[in-house]
A and B are shown apart, each in its own frame.
Chain A
Amino acid sequence: DTEVTQTPKHLVMGMTNKKSLKCEQHMGHRAMYWYKQKAKKPPELMFVYSYEKLSINESVPSRFSPECPNSSLLNLHLHALQPEDSALYLCASSQVAQGYNEQFFGPGTRLTVL
């Protein structure tokens, strides 16, 4: 199984809502990532989890709250978002060891904040 799944595929939420994005992989990868991608731009790294611990937070606002409940799951909790947070949110996973380690990406969640 070389697949990363993400749910939901699309999400529309108001600025006062609380929602969560979910990411799952069963490749035994111990590094998982959240990226944000605006239209016509490259993905920007938000968070990195390594062995279920948050290891990198790229100065992301606190209205985005990541969670890694186990080695297969990665969540991104959303609260009080702004319209400029509308984007494609991509999850990825990889091995942790150094060397050639491809990141496998999920299909993404297209988020619209009204």
Chain B
Amino acid sequence: AQKITQTQPGMFVQEKEAVTLDCTYDTSDPSYGLFWYKQPSSGEMIFLIYQGSYDQQNATEGRYSLNFQKARKSANLVISASQLGDSAMYFCAMRETNNAGNMLTFGGGTRLMVKP
């Protein structure tokens, strides 16, 4: 069973508008972490935002916020005031913790295209 699901393979957004990228997950572990990464065409994975399963408040980092709905097992990324440089692939990932470190399982990704 897929642990992380991103149902939007591609999305368009007008510059300066807000956009929501969907992510649902599946785990029976009470302690987990959810990450969003941005991957431009250059290939580097850029960390955007993190939400822990016990965090009471939704995470925010500048123009990025995470709409965390624990009961629904969703962790949607909201980008406010989109910029042309936001055009990239976006991956949602879940952390599984073990002695080896913090293994990440990635969703399939959403390609975001910002229109001028």
Could you tell me the distance between the alpha carbons of A99 and B31 in the complex, rounded to whole angstroms? Answer: 9
Q: Which A residues, 44 to 92, have Cβ-Cβ distances below 8 Å to chain B?
A: 45, 48, 50, 55-56, 88, 90, 92
Contacts of A41 in B (CB 8 A): 108-109
Residue from B46, B50, B95, B106 within 8 A of A43 (CB atoms) = B106
- The contact size tier of chain B is 20 to 34
Do B102 and A104 touch across chains, with their CB atoms under 8 A apart?
no
B81 at the interface (CB under 8 A from A): no
Residue from B44, B45, B91, B102 within 8 A of A101 (CB atoms) = B102
Nearest neighbor of B33 in chain A, beta-carbon distance: A100
Do B106 and A42 touch across chains, with their CB atoms under 8 A apart?
yes
Do B44 and A105 touch across chains, with their CB atoms under 8 A apart?
yes
Nearest neighbor of A92 in chain B, beta-carbon distance: B45
Interface size on A, residues (CB 8 A): 29
Contacts of A102 in B (CB 8 A): 35, 47, 50
Contacts of A34 in B (CB 8 A): none
Contacts of A99 in B (CB 8 A): 52, 97
Contacts of B91 in A (CB 8 A): 42-43
Could you tell me the distance between the alpha carbons of A97 and B101 in the complex, rounded to whole angstroms? Answer: 7
B100 at the interface (CB under 8 A from A): yes
Do A106 and B44 touch across chains, with their CB atoms under 8 A apart?
yes
Do A56 and B103 touch across chains, with their CB atoms under 8 A apart?
yes
Do A104 and B47 touch across chains, with their CB atoms under 8 A apart?
yes
Residues of A within 8 A of B (CB): 31, 33, 40-43, 45, 48, 50, 55-56, 88, 90, 92, 94-96, 98-108, 110
Contacts beyond the supplied A40-B109, A104-B47: 10 A-B pairs with Cβ under 8 Å: A33-B101, A41-B108, A42-B108, A55-B99, A96-B99, A98-B102, A100-B52, A101-B101, A103-B102, A105-B47
